[in-house]
Copies of this chain bind each other. A is one copy, B any other.
C-alpha cells in the first residue's frame, strides 16, 4: 500500500506548519522554504496545503485579507485576528466553552460538525 505524505516537499510544508504559531498563508510558506528547496514552486505549496487539509493533518483557521491561513495544531482552539496587521493569535478557552457550545441546537441544521470562533481587534504590536 502506498503511504500518504511521503514526498519531501509535502513533509517540509507540514513540518514548517507544525513548527510555527504564525498561522501562515501559502506565500509565507513558500518564501520560508525557498532557501532549503530552491526548486519549490508556489503551486506545489497550494496543492499540498489542500491535500494536507483534506486528510485532516492541518486546518484552515481564517481568511485574512483574502488569504487562507493555516494551522497544523488541530486540537480545538480559537483565534484572534488583528484588524490592522492581520496577525493570527491562538486563543485557548476553558472547558466551559466547549460544554456550552455542545448544547447548541440550530434550527435548520441536521448535524453540527465543527465550529469556528474568531475574535477581531488590535494586537499589542499595532
Contact = CB atoms under 8 A, between A and B. Distances in A.
Interface of A: 63, 80, 82-83, 87, 89, 91, 93, 96-97, 100, 104, 106-124, 126
**Residue from A97, A104, A122 having most chain B Cβ neighbours under 10 A:** A104
Contact of A117 (B63, B113, B116): B116
5 contacts: A87-B108, A108-B124, A114-B120, A115-B117, A117-B117
Given A97-B100, A106-B89, A106-B91, A122 B111 contact: yes
Contacts of A83: 113
Contact of A119 (B80, B112, B119, B123): B112
A96 B100 CA distance: 9
Nearest to A105: B91
A30 B113 CA distance: 32
A1 to B, nearest CB: 29
Contacts of A116: 116-118, 120
